[in-house]
Chain A
Amino acid sequence: MPFIPHTDDDIQAMLASIGARAIDDLFDEIPSELKSTGLKGVPDGLGEMEISRLMLERAETDGRYLSFIGAGAYEHHIPAAVWQITTRGEFYSSYTPYQAEASQGTLQLLYEYQTMMASLTGMDVSNASMYDGASALAEAALMAVRSHKSSRRILIPATVHPVYRNVVRTIVRNQGIEVVEAPYCRESGQTLPESLDAFGGEEFAALVIPQPNFFGILEPVDALTDWAHRHNMLAIGVVNPTTLALLTPPGNWGEKGADIAVGEGQPLGIPLSSGGPYFGFMSCKQALVRQMPGRIIGRTTDLDGRPGFVLTLQAREQHIRRSKATSNICTNQGLMVTAATIYMALTGPEGLRRIAAQSHANTLALLEKLEALEGVKRLFSGPVFHEAALSLSRPAGEVLRTLEREGILGGLSLEESHPELGSAILVCATETKTPADLERFAQRLGLALGAA
């Protein structure tokens, strides 16, 4: 009986109190024809020792690789303190902080997180998290449509992560919102304002601006933001939080700044873990705060005038407003935000800046080595941050499989998502890579390309 403390005496005493003969009597309101005949697909229970052995074996099957994949999830060093504190039972096993007086720990931490994220993105306010970067972008699109009022169309450049575009379409489609894709420059790998002019005569609620974009290229964000505002659209920035230690934050893009910033929070202390749980962040200008989805924490005072924290502006949310809520989101990614907040406190502004700069420098060093190989070319001329697209002289899938046998994950093949680029891969080197790692990758890639 895992995790059930009842003794036989307890059970008898409790049944007597209820006035039932057996536990089965407690289910007597369920029509008998609905009752289950058994769970044939569920194996017998295991002890902790047996399941530990099974999970260790499976983990070992998967092994560890030297990975140069980015594409929306980035390997960074995570200080040991981050997850030791995050998995304290008081954070790990508490609920959404509806009872504010019993949840000041979580609430204050979320207020600190909102402060850090608002500053990192250059915005006025941040919410307490969304599910992930892709769903945060979808929510930003809905938010833009709600506040724009006259257009139900969103302009998304093709340099936005392809899966993000898919998720946005899946989520907004049923509300009759149209997603229009803008082409990118094949030379620079950027979205150029002049190429958007073709859409200038049409009405859109928002333009999405990725920084860096899916190809790792830095976009001309100032010009794009101003272009959006000139055409009466909101500007939504999709940003990588690590890079914001160095880059102009969305709130300061162009003349007026972007209106909403969203992104994937994973680089801030969240393990790669096959894709989740991560968290999405969302921040915006003060004027849009009442259109924002999700939890928002505010500072207030208690009966004695002491400062304290509560969930606020709850009239936007589903548990109050039901069908008129800004979103259906309820449970978000609280524990991931706990980790990210501790991560940002441990790295501080200078630490995060160094992590970002080292990732950039490592990627430049990697590109120098790889471009020196025969059969490897940079695909785009635009400036890169910590990721870049390369064309290969041999089929990408085949080359990557050869590297995998050497214990190297040599990037993401773009053959499926971007067939127009031919044999191409996206590579990334964060601060976790040493010069020896870069050398090993370059050498093995050279061999893989040379192999007949």
Chain B
Amino acid sequence: MLIFEHARPGRRNYSQSPAAAATTVGIPEDLLRTVPPLLPEVSEMDAVRHYTRLSQQNFSIDTQFYPLGSCTMKYNPRACNSLAMLPQFLARHPRAPESTGQGFLACMYELQEILKDVTGMSGVSLTSMAGAQGELIGIAMIRAYHESRGDTARTEIIVPDAAHGTNPATAVMCGYKVVEIPTDREGNVDMQALEAAVGPRTAGLMLTNPSTLGVFEKNVAEMSRLVHQVGGLLYYDGANLNAILGKVKPGDMGFDVIHINLHKTFSTPHGGGGPGAAPVGVAERLLPFLPVPVVALENGTYRWLTEKDRPQTIGRLSAHMGNAGVLLRAYVYVRLLGAEGMHRVADFAALNANYLMAELSRAGFEIAYPTRRASHEFIVTLKNLKEETGVTAMNLAKRLLDKGYHAPTTYFPLLVPECLLIEPAETESKETLDAFVSAMKEILEEARTQPDLVKGAPHSTPVRKLDDVKAARELDLAWKQA
């Protein structure tokens, strides 16, 4: 039932809005709306019950194991939320003077400094509101750098075929042509193809390392040399930073610009699709181009650097300073972890992934890159199972929902057929992983003995398999009053 179907004309929440209807005398008659908007007329209790019930129809980290590859669904500590929601932080207006926000700015400045160290970069801007926006900033800075040198013949960005879809989409948004290069049998970027692709038109290379195939690009130093040699720059997509946090710094791998998904590695909540935050870090030569604002500490006082301080900045990406509340949550998280805790994040993310990979392999699942170490995630391919039983990766994913587990990422990366990208994250216990392996084994058995049961899944969720084709053909994007 929709909230609109709970509504009754004239029902109101008297304590939620001003008691008297004020005058609209200053507004010209011809600018006033004649039909009220379709907002539900419900009581506070109706709304609370309705949205509480809706929440109960979600899987979430707080209720289920959520091994969604590439998304780093780790536990979101509650302290990060409650401390970011202290009343003074919530009430602070974005345009309030810096003198009234020294406590907040201290957190932002320290977060910038910590992220600089963790990534091995020379400067960080916190303004980006999501990974894809971080990418846009990064590629825009690469473009600004080349243009500032009068180097305008560079029209191409190189992207491996295993990359997230945001990489090629971003390169195009920045006016570049995308050159896609293949992956070799071991899951590394094909070095011969890369060598053939680099040249005077190369503006840069976008790389995720460890890659979305769940393995570390062993040739990263050579890749850096190849790209730099022709005058291109290296972009690090930080989607998988959790795997190497404290172990390897992207700056040491030769990257010139990076983004970090705080909603992955730094445990800020995913919120059903955001908000994220994706600070961008740069090497020395890109410092002048960083987007503003950036926090500076001068004579014991924090202040925002603006266009005046950074005349070569690529500009602004948000109306204010980005997702401050997300940044506060990440700040609390890094202070809880400390340096030692950061090392352990990578240690246990790797331990959980490699353990789960070993156990699933023993249980009869085919690992896509069996000779490689898993980073913080790995890929299972069901190509043979599909041939044998007709059960697809999507069928298995849906059957997992019946068993109380969120599904792994399916059909990504696109180059591995019938794939499941599995990322357990460091916060899960051995018992949880063992129970997940048992569920996977049961489904394997079901696929062989009762394939229709698996193909018809899910059976126990609030709705059964939904008709995507109908959704796209008979578009129903808003409820209409009967």
Contacts and interface: CB of A to CB of B under 8 A. Distances in A.
| The 10 A-B residue pairs with the shortest CB-CB distance in the complex, in nearest-first order | A45-B338, A275-B320, A89-B62, A335-B271, A41-B117, A58-B103, A275-B94, A334-B273, A170-B315, A277-B275
Nearest to A219: B31
Given A65-B96, A333-B275, A95 B66 contact: yes
B321 to A, nearest CB: 5
The range of chain B's interface size is 35 or more
A2 B337 contact: yes
Given A91-B272, A325-B169, A355 B461 contact: no
A129 interface: yes
A131 B130 contact: yes
Given A42-B114, A330-B132, A34 B401 contact: no
Interface string A206-244: 000000000000100110000000000000000000001
B272 A106 contact: yes
Interface in B348-403: 348, 350-352, 354-355, 358-359, 372-374, 397-398, 401
A18 B270 contact: no
A112 B2 contact: yes
A323 B172 contact: yes
Contacts of B61: 89, 93-94
A69 B95 contact: yes
A16 to B, nearest CB: 10
A99 B69 CA distance: 13
Interface string B462-476: 111111101110111
A302 B27 contact: no
A258 interface: no
Contacts of B28: 218, 383
A92 B37 contact: no
B51 A109 contact: yes
Contacts of B81: 87, 92
Given A23-B350, A39-B118, A300-B467, A328 B169 contact: yes
A103 B412 CA distance: 19
B451 to A, nearest CB: 16
Contacts of B463: 100-101, 104, 302, 306-308
A301 B469 CA distance: 10
Contact of B168 (A58, A97, A323): A323
A122 B11 CA distance: 23
Contacts of B22: 354, 357-358, 360-362
A168 B317 CA distance: 8
Interface in A150-204: 161, 163-164, 166-167, 169-171, 174-176
B272 A45 contact: no
B93 A26 contact: no
Contacts of B136: 171, 328
Given A328-B169, A354-B18, A385-B27, A300 B471 contact: yes
A397 to B, nearest CB: 9
A52 interface: yes
